[in-house]
Structure 1
């Protein structure tokens, strides 16, 4: 009883709500179209009257001599209708381009006055309204939405909802067994036939509404026949397919006769949705796909007379979409043959025949290939093909090869059938064929062989593209080279051996280098990227070769092999006149630095590395020989190469020296500091001597070698002079001698080297640094002389070398006071003699420090001979200073200016 009440409510809702609403909407749309047509007619009549009046009123004026600047006044009559107005010419904005209406012959006849013509140009003419042409571009979703929004979208929505409601109502009645099954099927069929008949009768009065009714009726017939066959087995398979074929043929005929896309779309939508709405989750897939194949054939038959892109997209979407969903859930290997046949059939229908009919339906001179129909079926279809063949040996690879061969044959056939106009289809088919053939390689081979095969194939495609001037083909070949790199990286993650790494990346490097050479003929800037990739892959290949040959010491092996490789690059660059490749030889420098840092930090050995040092025997001579032979290197690059090579040599020698002195036994601190300072000083002195004598390579950039090149040595020497001065200078089992022990001799070399370095490069310093540098050097020398005096007093005065003992020693305090006072005296006298106020003030400052020291330090411990001697000595020295230099001298520059004034 509840079921009958529900059915009655549904019928009442359709009769009282759905049908009245649809009728009101149709009536309002008809009235709106009729009112719009009436307004357009009134406007056309008004414009014709205006033009006639202007022609009559301004004809005499046009025959007089009128200035070209003045324009005749146009009187615009008042418009009766409020919806139609003609603006005055003076205030009229720029009219947009419109298509003028046909003009009567008596108005625009030959001899029409110029005033009339100007009036005609100033009057806006309405555009013709008409249906917008359906664009052939856009995606699947865009096309379907555009189709739905054109015409009568509310009617389309209503018929779809009505179809769904009836389907659910039908299913509800089946589940509740409200009516006999035969009666339900007969009523559904009769209702669909009545709906179809009504739509056919209304095809002239309400064409859009009539087409929607016909589409809904066609879908209902599909639903009825399929339900009778699938759910209740009331019809045999042969009769069911015959009826479905009849319905499909009838829908095709109706759609083609009326040129109705909406009918075809709705009929196809109902047919595709019928098995989905009535399916109970079981049944044979052969039945489902045979039914879908029948619908696809119907769509293809429609395309013979009338090609509708949206219809083909709808069929492709349902066919491949439902097939994919079924395959994910229910596919079994025993279904292979049937699924393979259905897949081939749909691929031919949507990917080949639909594209061919699309080209056939286009206007003469147009050959626009539908990209969605051409590319979507094979790509989606190959995904299904892979799913049904992955369990077979080489199944996916053979499938990809078959796809590639098929599209190659398709390209050949299109080229023979349409030698000129079919070029887009030929190129697209060639691209698909090449892509699937390329895809067969990784499906059949491992990632290692795939990388090499793709690299060689990409190089061949790129070469053909460059030779034939086909830029797209060249880009495709380059894309294959990139894919080859991806396959190689994938192979690296799979435990690849060193030999495989060497072979793979050697092939990649050669392919990318040749490709970089070919890209020099193309307008796009891609040669440098390919060249950089080829050089990088060669380094990886050298790494694999070193690992394969040596098993350890891989960085040194890479360096040695690279030192030999750069000469091959140099030869090819000179032979091919390839300047970019010539710059690759300087890659030896960063590799040398990387290997050097590896040996110094990770292995912590350089001279003790054994056979690995043979790499340096090849790398260093190669580097210096390249610097000697290459004379056309840019200045900045040449300077960087020279200085960086010097720095690497200094880094290696300095680290080796540090390891050597660090290994000295206890009690050899003086030797440690002295050797390092002496070595640094000797290096600076030797380089300065080589610069003055013009020794190569120092004579190439002498100012850079003497200043910036020695900076890594000069700065550590200054640090060592500051820090090593706090050492006692004693060497175990050796007598301390103030001037001939290792610490003092090393400091002498260091001070001499710093002074020599400053003399060479002081002119390149800023003015402030030039003024401060002599003070720094003087202060450094004074600091070291204090250390020398302290060590001598401590050793010969038997004072322990600790801060407390040294501080409380009267001998040391008095000696320092006298030494500082003597230093202040010498500085002030020299300043007075040379006329430098700055030096005099420095000496005075030191004198003040000595006096403060006497007051606070020397007098703190009470009386004593040492204190008296300190005070007397300082007093005598102060008197001497006061006699020779009582006041700061005037600057020499200031004195000369006063004389000039």
Structure 2
């Protein structure tokens, strides 16, 4: 029980340190309230004097009166007194009726009574105890409500009573420890002092009502202390007598609080009663006595709540009852005390539930509100305690949650049947609690995988029912339950379950999420799309888990996954048309990333689709399905998305063809480099030529987006062709067991196809991408000519090496006079042809290119051919080049510059 003493010390510290600060703030607020009250009284006296002296006019007179409990409104006073509706205030015998607890005072009737009554009556009216302020709204926190109550009325008197209460408690303890007075005398003296204080407070109820109520509350608390101490600490009273006396005190405090409408009396009396066992306990008391005492106090609070709507009092009882019970349960609960704790827990939950029902039904007529704290706090906190006392039993928490849920579902049904209009909000709260507890019973009783299934089906049912009843909140609750089911499924996967169970759970969740998305498709399309995305995700997970369960081999599992994904895409397409759900139709395009992922896995794992085995035939199903979907349904998509689908599928085909070609060429024997290069060149060139032919013959799909296929579509092929033409030209062209034949060998044939494909691709670009090519002029055409020149030189060099039996080595080829002379004459002839053609066309740029090549030949003659000494070859080279230069000078002079238009100003200047 040391924790109880620590709790009491904290309360004492609060009273000594915090309370003075609050008192200073209260003094300022009290001064403002007194000034406002004095102003209102003067105004009322002025109005009373006017009514007493003025003669009543024939018609009705409007007198605007300010009311403190409502907004200022005009009050109509007729010459003849009108009947006032019968209320609790009208039935009071006092000359000035008290306002009802839930409505503002009727000032018109009060003014008429004051006008007819003498002046002493008015003075008597002002001495009547002011009713405690009522707070009809159930909003605000528990601490805010208690602070608001403490700051009202006379805070100093409340502080004094609390300090006096603590001081008397400590004095009694001190006297007990030192045996200063006889025990009977101490107890009797405390009781007599409490009764005297109570009588004195009752006597002052008319003169100083607020102060009198504080004294009465302190006296009631002192009586609680005295009786509890006499029973528990000193065993002077038997249990029946002690509880009987406490019952009398509860009844008396209820009567006093209700008669005087005094929240402060009820708060102080209850506070003293709750603190009594904490301050006077020696640490060895029985929990049954403590909880029985608290149960009696809660009964008293419930009785008060029947007549008065005091939310602060209910929150005080709730705080002490469950707070003290929780502290005791953490430190002192034993399993053999289950029965007594269970009974007290049930009693308190039902008690505060009844209080909540009573207050909620009383509040429905005003603002249709339900106290959320009183509705949700007892079951939620109570179930936490219920879990603590039943967790050592198998399925104990599960059956407890099920019981809580059934109780609140029955409460909701009873409230709705008994009060169809007033109890609607309360029934919704009970339905929410009942459904939550029934839902909570599932994971407490079952494993994570069965919990996921149960929650998914329950969430779907709740979502469907909410849609049928047009209850948006219920539908959102169903969606939230689906999210919890997904979380439970993920936990089950992490915890470890079989692949078949995982696939089954994922399939059920996928169907539930998809059904939820279909239900949300009309009211909230964004929510529907979120459900659709979750459903498709679980569907894909189910496919992967089913494939892993069916095949242990990764490659086979991937093939089965792709086959199932293809069939799923066809199923989604059919379901979207049948269910009139266009958003589901977008899911069919998930076949594209699925195919790309499977292709990448096949290439990484197997190296090629052919090496994957018989199950690579799944592409015979996936590829036609993708082409069919692309032709039938892609037209409804945005243009960018259509182009992306076409381009991605074409690139996947290119990657697959490249992987298969590389696998085939890599498996060739040693010494087949020319065959490898030639085959790759032929395949790459064939792709370009096929695209060109499909566009020229208007074949789908190339004819639908010709610019896309001719430009970005063939973009991956261009660097492959360029690299192979540059690197392959360095090869000798010889193969093992195959003689080299000029022009008729795999290397030259592949290069010829590649150059033809490059020319075909160039024509496609000039047809569909001419604006882009014009920006790259004139260098773009030179690329093709440069490749042609490069490969032509290689062809000549390989032919000379074969004919002259020159080793394919750099030093040998460089030192060969045959090679040097042939290239000098060949380049000179080529320069002549270029320059003559440029002269006829008037192309100065082409002429300069030929001239540049001619210059290279001349420099080569001076530096390379002359460096090797004399000989017939050098002479032939010089003579041949000189003759060609003369011919060029005669037939191909430099073309003149193109004439430029001259404007008028330039002409005048000249």
State the TM-score bracket (shorter-chain normalisation). 0.7 to 0.9
The equivalent residue for 2:602 is 599
Q: CA deviation at 1:302?
A: 0.9
The equivalent residue for 2:424 is 423
The equivalent residue for 1:566 is 569
Q: CA deviation at 1:894?
A: 5.5
The equivalent residue for 1:614 is 617
Partner residue of 1:883 out of 863, 870, 890: 890
Corresponding position: 1:840 with 2:842:
no
Q: CA deviation at 1:897?
A: 12
The equivalent residue for 1:547 is 548
Give distance in 1, aligned partners of 2:527 and 2:828.
Answer: 74
Partner residue of 2:592 out of 568, 589, 592: 589
CA gap 1:431/1:39 in 2 versus in 1, 3 angstroms = closer
Corresponding position: 1:408 with 2:412:
no
Q: Is the 8 A contact 1:560 1:614 kept in 2?
A: no
Q: Is the 8 A contact 2:503 2:541 kept in 1?
A: yes
The equivalent residue for 1:623 is 626
| Residues 370-379 or 384-393, more deviating | 384-393
Partner residue of 1:697 out of 695, 701, 705: 701
1:674-728 deviations in whole A, cap 9, x for unaligned? Answer: 1111111012112222322233433333333333322222332122222323333
CA gap 1:372/1:18 in 2 versus in 1, 3 angstroms = closer
1:298-321 deviations in whole A, cap 9, x for unaligned? Answer: 111110111211111121122222
Q: CA deviation at 1:843?
A: 3.2
Give distance in 1, aligned partners of 2:235 and 2:273.
Answer: 19
CA gap 1:296/1:591 in 2 versus in 1, 3 angstroms = same
Q: Is the 8 A contact 1:841 1:888 kept in 2?
A: no
The equivalent residue for 2:232 is 230
Give distance in 1, aligned partners of 2:362 and 2:134.
Answer: 15
| Residues 234-243 or 667-676, more deviating | 234-243
| Residues 465-474 or 302-311, more deviating | 465-474
CA gap 1:39/1:342 in 2 versus in 1, 3 angstroms = closer
State how 1:162-561 maps to structure 2 within 5 Å: 162-168=164-170, 170-172=172-174, 174-175=176-177, 181-350=183-352, 352-362=353-363, 364=365, 366-523=367-524, 525-552=526-553, 553-561=556-564
Q: Is the 8 A contact 2:688 2:761 kept in 1?
A: yes
Q: Is the 8 A contact 2:364 2:422 kept in 1?
A: no
1:519-553 deviations in whole A, cap 9, x for unaligned? Answer: 12424632222122222222222222222222332
The equivalent residue for 1:77 is none
Partner residue of 1:140 out of 142, 160, 176: 142
The equivalent residue for 2:686 is 682
1:173-202 deviations in whole A, cap 9, x for unaligned? Answer: 545556555554444444444443443333
The equivalent residue for 2:123 is none
Partner residue of 1:667 out of 667, 671, 674: 671
State how 1:106-145 maps to structure 2 within 5 Å: 134=135, 135-145=137-147
Q: Is the 8 A contact 1:828 1:843 kept in 2?
A: yes
Q: Is the 8 A contact 1:454 1:480 kept in 2?
A: yes
State how 1:744-763 maps to structure 2 within 5 Å: 744-762=748-766, 763=768
Give distance in 2, aligned partners of 1:544 and 1:24.
Answer: 70
Q: CA deviation at 1:331?
A: 2.2
Give distance in 2, aligned partners of 1:894 and 1:47.
Answer: 106
Give distance in 2, aligned partners of 1:628 and 1:26.
Answer: 80
| Residues 822-831 or 376-385, more deviating | 822-831
Give distance in 2, aligned partners of 1:46 and 1:856.
Answer: 128
Partner of 2:206, secondary structure, is coil
CA gap 1:363/1:377 in 2 versus in 1, 3 angstroms = closer
Q: CA deviation at 1:861?
A: 6.5
CA gap 1:250/1:740 in 2 versus in 1, 3 angstroms = same
Partner of 2:729, secondary structure, is helix
Partner of 1:726, secondary structure, is coil
Give distance in 2, aligned partners of 1:196 and 1:471.
Answer: 55
Q: CA deviation at 1:623?
A: 1.7
The equivalent residue for 1:658 is 662
Q: Is the 8 A contact 1:466 1:521 kept in 2?
A: no
Give distance in 2, aligned partners of 1:20 and 1:606.
Answer: 85
Give distance in 1, aligned partners of 2:843 and 2:26.
Answer: 110
Q: Is the 8 A contact 2:839 2:893 kept in 1?
A: no
Tell me the C-alpha RMSD between the 2 structures.
3.7
Give distance in 2, aligned partners of 1:98 and 1:38.
Answer: 19
Q: CA deviation at 1:222?
A: 2.5
Give distance in 1, aligned partners of 2:28 and 2:634.
Answer: 89
Give distance in 2, aligned partners of 1:605 and 1:516.
Answer: 40
Q: CA deviation at 1:130?
A: 11
The equivalent residue for 2:787 is 780
Give distance in 1, aligned partners of 2:351 and 2:474.
Answer: 28
Q: Is the 8 A contact 1:382 1:400 kept in 2?
A: yes
The equivalent residue for 1:99 is 72
Q: Is the 8 A contact 2:607 2:659 kept in 1?
A: no
Give distance in 2, aligned partners of 1:243 and 1:658.
Answer: 100
Q: Is the 8 A contact 2:563 2:621 kept in 1?
A: yes
What is the number of equivalent residue pairs in this alignment?
Answer: 813
| Residues 223-232 or 307-316, more deviating | 223-232
The equivalent residue for 2:126 is none
CA gap 1:419/1:385 in 2 versus in 1, 3 angstroms = same
CA gap 1:770/1:243 in 2 versus in 1, 3 angstroms = farther
Q: CA deviation at 1:879?
A: 3.6
Give distance in 2, aligned partners of 1:800 and 1:434.
Answer: 91
The equivalent residue for 2:740 is 736
1:543-583 deviations in whole A, cap 9, x for unaligned? Answer: 22222222332221111122222222222222223222222
Give distance in 2, aligned partners of 1:21 and 1:384.
Answer: 36
Q: Is the 8 A contact 2:363 2:370 kept in 1?
A: no
Q: Is the 8 A contact 2:401 2:437 kept in 1?
A: yes
Q: CA deviation at 1:847?
A: 3.9
CA gap 1:803/1:515 in 2 versus in 1, 3 angstroms = same
CA gap 1:258/1:741 in 2 versus in 1, 3 angstroms = same
Q: Is the 8 A contact 1:836 1:890 kept in 2?
A: no
State how 1:15-30 maps to structure 2 within 5 Å: none
Q: CA deviation at 1:863?
A: 6.5
Q: Where in structure 2 are there 5+ consecutive unaligned residues?
A: 1-16, 50-69, 80-129
Q: Where in structure 1 are there 5+ consecutive unaligned residues?
A: 1-16, 50-96, 107-128
1:65-102 deviations in whole A, cap 9, x for unaligned? Answer: xxxxxxxxxxxxxxxxxxxxxxxxxxxxxxxx983788
Give distance in 2, aligned partners of 1:620 and 1:486.
Answer: 36
Q: CA deviation at 1:873?
A: 4.7
The equivalent residue for 2:831 is 824
The equivalent residue for 1:119 is none
| Residues 660-669 or 806-815, more deviating | 806-815
